[in-house]
Amino acid sequence: MKIGWERKIGYSFVGLMAGNAVSVVVLFLIALLPQLEAFAEIRKGWNLPLSEALGLSLLIWLVSMGAWVIVGLPVVLLLQAEIVADFYWVTAGLMGAVMGAFAMALIYVAPNPRHIDIAAFRNPETLCFFFLAALISGVAFAVYCALVWATLRRQAKESGAPKGTPRSLPWFDF
């Protein structure tokens, strides 16, 4: 059972779009907190007007596309589909979150690799960007793993895999 590189790229792009959709929802929720008069502590860390939430989500979408090309695509193309299909959704989400935080760190280090500005990491807005990067990539990788799992399962059923086949094989059935 194989999944071609075209399908891997397509599945990872669908996952990226799902992660970006979740980030837009989170940004709008953060922007709506003052109107709801809720979670005062969160509003102290990042106060985002509703008018700026859409522009910021577009900027985050552009940055996430670049990070997807630099970090996401190589990871997706190097991982075998059978390995990815064995991940639980929580494991996939955590692995994706780590990849997103790594991509965001690369973005912060890239302009001046010899001097890392530690003060930037103390800024609550910077930490919120790391949170959004981890959220986007965590959702994206979990969706990618779910799509790969569904494809391998469908291929296994079409090829007549016997019931009770061990999960470690490409043919698995629950």
**Domains in the chain, number:** 1
Residue 77 falls inside a structural domain: yes
Is the separation of the CB atoms in 65 and 107 below 8 Å? no
Residue 97 falls inside a structural domain: yes
124 lies in which domain range? 5-158
More confident residue, 51 or 77: 77
Q: Give 62-115 pLDDT, tens digit per residue.
A: 988 988 898 889 989 998 888 888 888 888 899 999 988 888 888 877 777 676
Residue 40 falls inside a structural domain: yes
Q: Give 14-50 pLDDT, tens digit per residue.
A: 999 999 999 999 888 877 777 766 666 665 656 677 7
Residue 101 falls inside a structural domain: yes
Residue 118 falls inside a structural domain: yes
pLDDT (0 to 100) of residue 97: 93
Residue 78 CB: number of other CB atoms within 10 A? 8
Structure tokens at 144: 């990618």
Residue 21 falls inside a structural domain: yes
Residue 37 CB: number of other CB atoms within 10 A? 8
pLDDT (0 to 100) of residue 173: 45
Residue 174 falls inside a structural domain: no
Residue 73 falls inside a structural domain: yes
